[in-house]
Structure 1
Amino acid sequence: MSSLPTGEPIYEILDPRFGECIDLVAQLERLHGGLRWAEGPVYFADHHALLFSDIPNERILRYDEESGEVTLFRGASNNANGNTRDRQGRLITCEQGAGRVTRTEPDGSVAVLADSVGGKRLNAPNDVVVRSDGTIWFTDPSYGRETSFVGTPRPREVEVDGVYRLDADGGDPVLVADDFVKPNGLAFSPDESRLYIVDSGYLPDPTGPRHVRVFDVGADNTLSGGEVLVEVMPGIPDGLRVDDAGRLWIGAGDGVHCVHPDGTLLGKIRVPEAAANVAFGGPDRNRLYITATTSLYAVFLNVTGIQRP
């Protein structure tokens, strides 16, 4: 185990291979504070900017990579949580307070992509990812229906906390996994043959799961498998991203965990607050942005993140 002095990034090296991923000279930078629950980072290389959610404050913020300035991108965000981009570079957002998945058009207008399934309102879409074929995959736990802090309390209409796929030609969401307690973050492997999905059922039930499962993705966009890849503690696994070598970078209670595709925990980046989600950015895609409770952090790594599109 190795760590850096106070004031610098603190790394736990649990496997020698983690040493290849980190730069001991790079600092863990606190870029912005004063948030209530930071989430949903998504990088826009063409704008040199990162968008991220502040769920309880109902806003999406914009971090300018060149100036370091943080400004309001959108208020009244319906407790926006997870964000990603589609194949045309448009912002896709999970609005858990409104129970819907939306797309921001080039003119700034917002189009609703999904808000119901089988005539019943979705629970509270949480996180979202887009595959290279244009399909949109999202998780739909009930967190955003349970408290006013992160959503809008209301009775649920859909009994399952599911994982869904939206096909490129539209239509109702297709349920692709229904055996989760609280499906949360999700990410594809570099070749998109695997889909990693978090189950954060430990929150609010301490007997519930807190792990990442791995599914095989079929040619018809169906899922099979679903074995547990890794248990994550302390706290819960939340959002995750994958680098171009297939390693997983997972937000957890003590920072960011780096996991090999075979499930081995390689090491951790210690963060002063619980880390909710991460995104790779920067011109070389080697800067890991971390949304962690009240703050936005970043650290440069010796890895390259997958950036879609």
Structure 2
Amino acid sequence: MPQNASIYEIHDDRFRHLIVGSAGLDELYSDCRWAEGPVWFADLNCLVWSDIPNQRMLRWAEGTVSVFRSPSNFVNGNTRDRQGRLVSCEHGGRRVTRTEIDGTITVLADRYQGKRLNSPNDVVVRSDGSVWFTDPTYGIKSDYEGYRAEPEQATRNVYRIDPESGGLDAVVTDFSQPNGLAFSPDETRLYVADSASSHDVTAPRYIRVFDVVDGKRLANGRVFCHLDNGLPDGFRVDIDGNVWTSAGDGVHCFSADGALLGKILVPQTVANLTFGGPRRNRLFITATRSLYAVYLTTSGATLG
């Protein structure tokens, strides 16, 4: 895509203050099958992301791309906890894992009420250390992004892992296919995408938002925004509470009140994104085969 302002679509003047008009969309890598789960490592000045069908995780470090992990067990979403450890959702293992500093793998969750999880998809860590993740069925629908299997869970849930006991609680159970999730900057709200329209054209294409109660429960679920192109998958929130979400035609930016501010147009369908760089003002975008990046005037609300 040309390195000019044509990559931007302005829907609200507030968007003009979030973008750098002269900043272009940089394609950093282009040899994936389905790029997902980007996470920024500020201490190492690098980005790690998933290439799910190729069973690998890749690392980008200022122009150099290398294999971070292979086989990856079909890892999808990634984040870091408050100790800097990598937390990942494995489609293949149907589990959420943590990579310790010495490289060993700790299983954080793989069953709920004695039955296997579906295929954990995306994950965030709250400031209190609790781990929140979504569990749709994409990883067990076929052998392309995991291993085909029948779901053991009756519903497709959003879960919370308690930081003290390690106990697993289903905090929302009425999603069709819960996907990306992120907290507001003050962690009083949790946004969760429903991407069921990927396999059901009649399903809504929206992100819902919930109030976080006592850091443990969710209440007052309501629709935050609808997408007008494609479906919401992964997303992040900036320091001002704006939601930057993946979409069919690129990245859509919504204000905290749910208004569409603008779009960053991307040549391929976007799956996920994260803020990174030394000032967290560079948006890294995983889009089908490629990893892209663009500089903004805002920065990410959380690390990873």
1:157 is displaced (CA, Å) by: 0.7
1:172 is displaced (CA, Å) by: 3.4
1:78 is displaced (CA, Å) by: 1.1
Which residue in 1 is equivalent to 2:24?
A: 27
1:196-228 residue CA offsets vs partner (Å, 9 max, x unmatched): 000011110001121000100011510001100
Which residue in 2 is equivalent to 1:131?
A: 126
1:299 is displaced (CA, Å) by: 0.2
Which residue in 1 is equivalent to 2:38?
A: 41
Which residue in 2 is equivalent to 1:97?
A: 92
1:223 correspondence with 2:223 = no
1:51 is displaced (CA, Å) by: 0.5
Structure 2 unaligned regions, length at least 5 = none
Residue 14 (structure 2) aligned to one of 14, 17, 23: 17
SS in 2 for 1:46: coil
Distance 2:210 2:197 in 1: 21
Q: Answer whether contact 1:251 1:278 (CA < 8 A) is retained.
A: yes
Query: Match for 1:84: what amino acid?
Result: T
Distance 1:27 1:204 in 2: 33
Distance 1:152 1:169 in 2: 32
Q: Answer whether contact 2:3 2:23 (CA < 8 A) is retained.
A: no
Q: Answer whether contact 2:208 2:224 (CA < 8 A) is retained.
A: yes
Distance 1:8 1:37 in 2: 26
Which residue in 2 is equivalent to 1:121?
A: 116
Distance 2:112 2:202 in 1: 29
1:98 is displaced (CA, Å) by: 1.4
Which residue in 2 is equivalent to 1:8?
A: 4
1:63 correspondence with 2:60 = yes
Distance 1:36 1:168 in 2: 34
Change in CA separation of 1:170 and 1:60 when aligned onto 2, cut-off 3 Å: farther
Which residue in 2 is equivalent to 1:84?
A: 79
1:170 is displaced (CA, Å) by: 3.5
1:7 is displaced (CA, Å) by: 4.2
Q: Answer whether contact 2:185 2:302 (CA < 8 A) is retained.
A: no
Query: Match for 2:23: what amino acid?
Result: A
Change in CA separation of 1:43 and 1:181 when aligned onto 2, cut-off 3 Å: same
1:252 is displaced (CA, Å) by: 0.5
1:155 is displaced (CA, Å) by: 1.2
Which residue in 1 is equivalent to 2:187?
A: 192
1:98-138 residue CA offsets vs partner (Å, 9 max, x unmatched): 10000001111111110001110000000000000000000
1:8 is displaced (CA, Å) by: 3.1
1:124-168 residue CA offsets vs partner (Å, 9 max, x unmatched): 000000000000000000110001111110111111100000010
1:96 is displaced (CA, Å) by: 1.2
Query: Match for 1:156: what amino acid?
Result: P
Q: Answer whether contact 1:90 1:105 (CA < 8 A) is retained.
A: yes
Which residue in 2 is equivalent to 1:205?
A: 200
SS in 1 for 2:89: strand
Residue 258 (structure 2) aligned to one of 252, 256, 263: 263
1:307 is displaced (CA, Å) by: 2.7
Query: Match for 1:295: what amino acid?
Result: S
Distance 1:241 1:167 in 2: 22
1:41 is displaced (CA, Å) by: 0.4
Distance 1:122 1:172 in 2: 14
Query: Match for 2:277: what amino acid?
Result: G
Scaled by the length of structure 1, the TM-score of the pair is 0.96
Q: Answer whether contact 1:116 1:172 (CA < 8 A) is retained.
A: no
Distance 2:232 2:271 in 1: 8
Which residue in 2 is equivalent to 1:143?
A: 138
1:6 is displaced (CA, Å) by: 3.7
SS in 2 for 1:53: strand
| Over 2 Å off, 4+ runs | 5-9
Q: Answer whether contact 1:118 1:172 (CA < 8 A) is retained.
A: no
